[in-house]
């Protein structure tokens, strides 16, 4: 289904963070729970930070939106996490979720799964406190800018993580390549990029509004990341079963996870 490109101002004006969490991550019927993405993402992130031992001082979570699940394993491997998102509403909701404020989405099931996978005997409450202590702040960012954190100039970091953000920010593949370069400037040589995207998706529905997605493939993602000066360390794709009703909500056919090491500036 064709959808006009959804620009960043539309996200700023009408994107509903709480509705998004409920529709896409609700424990029983959330689309990205039912299709297996959330379990896949939690498993891959746990592998990345515990089995592969990716760690360091600072990780930037770019385009975190209203979700915090992507930082649950990272907070054990990095001294600090800096959140970054374009929309004011998402940054506010992310901070409120970290504080576990009433009225925010309940991530208990995801947190328990991560605690079980990590096998350290940590409780849900302990993990929440660890995450809250590790995420130092969330700042405004725009990945379309050569310095996404403008006007701030941050020291280069050990890792950038971005989940389901860049495909929504880019109107075409050339822009996606440029955005990867923009994001890469934030990472030290020898540091890591972690990217997850849904593939072959053109749009998703939220609050009666259809938001655009850039159609991405595994082959494009591999080549674009390598062209940006990275070596692929891990790349995995999981397919999604066809379901007419679910596809009308969001029409991706698979999900991708990539861990890459920065070898050079380009």
CB 64 within 8 A of CB 86: no
Q: Angle 135-90-136 (CA atoms, 0-180°, nearest 5)?
A: 15
d(CA 66, CA 45): 18
Q: Angle 255-21-140 (CA atoms, 0-180°, nearest 5)?
A: 90
pLDDT (tens, 9 = 90+) of the chain, 266 residues, equals 567 999 999 999 999 999 999 999 999 899 999 999 999 999 999 999 999 999 999 999 999 999 999 999 999 999 999 999 999 999 999 999 999 999 999 999 999 999 999 999 999 999 999 999 999 999 999 999 999 999 999 999 999 999 999 999 999 999 999 999 999 999 999 999 999 999 999 999 999 999 999 999 999 999 999 999 999 999 999 999 878 888 899 999 999 999 999 999 99
Domain ranges of the chain: 8-262
Q: Which residues are annotated as a binding site for S-adenosyl-L-methionine?
A: 20, 25, 85, 90, 142-143
Cβ density class 188-219: b for 16+ within 10 Å, e for less = eeebbbbbbbbbebebbbbeeebbbbbbbebe
pLDDT of res. 244: 84
Residues 183, 133, 93, 200, Cα dihedral to 10°: 40
CA-wise closest residue to 20 among 84, 97, 114 = 97
Q: Which residues are annotated as a binding site?
A: 20, 25, 85, 90, 142-143
Q: What number does CATH give the domain 8-262?
A: 3.40.50.150
pLDDT of res. 2: 63
pLDDT of res. 1: 54
């Amino acid at each position: 289904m064709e959808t006009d490109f959804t620009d960043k101002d539309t996200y700023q004006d009408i994107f509903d963070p709480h509705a998004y969490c409920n529709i896409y991550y609700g424990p029983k019927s959330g689309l990205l729970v039912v299709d297996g993405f959330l379990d896949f993402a939690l498993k891959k992130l746990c592998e990345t930070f515990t089995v592969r031992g990716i760690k360091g001082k600072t990780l930037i979570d770019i385009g975190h939106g209203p979700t915090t699940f992507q930082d649950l394993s990272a907070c054990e491997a990095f001294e600090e996490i800096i959140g970054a998102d374009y929309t004011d509403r998402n940054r506010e909701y992310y901070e409120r979720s970290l504080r576990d404020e009433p009225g925010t989405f309940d991530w208990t099931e995801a947190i328990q799964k991560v605690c079980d996978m990590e096998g350290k005997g940590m409780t849900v409450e302990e993990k929440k406190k660890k995450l809250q202590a590790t995420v130092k702040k969330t700042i405004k960012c725009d990945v379309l800018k050569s310095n996404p954190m403008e006007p701030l100039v941050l020291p280069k970091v050990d890792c950038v993580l971005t989940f389901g953000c860049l495909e929504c920010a880019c109107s075409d593949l050339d822009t996606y390549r440029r955005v990867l370069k923009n994001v890469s400037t934030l990472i030290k040589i020898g540091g890591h990029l972690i990217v997850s995207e849904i593939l072959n998706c053109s749009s998703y529905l939220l609050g009666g509004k259809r938001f655009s997605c850039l159609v991405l493939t595994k082959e494009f993602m591999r080549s674009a990341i390598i062209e940006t000066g990275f070596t692929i360390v891990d790349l995995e794709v999981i397919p999604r079963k066809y379901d007419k009703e679910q596809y009308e909500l969001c029409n991706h056919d698979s999900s991708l996870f990539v861990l890459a090491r920065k070898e050079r500036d380009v």
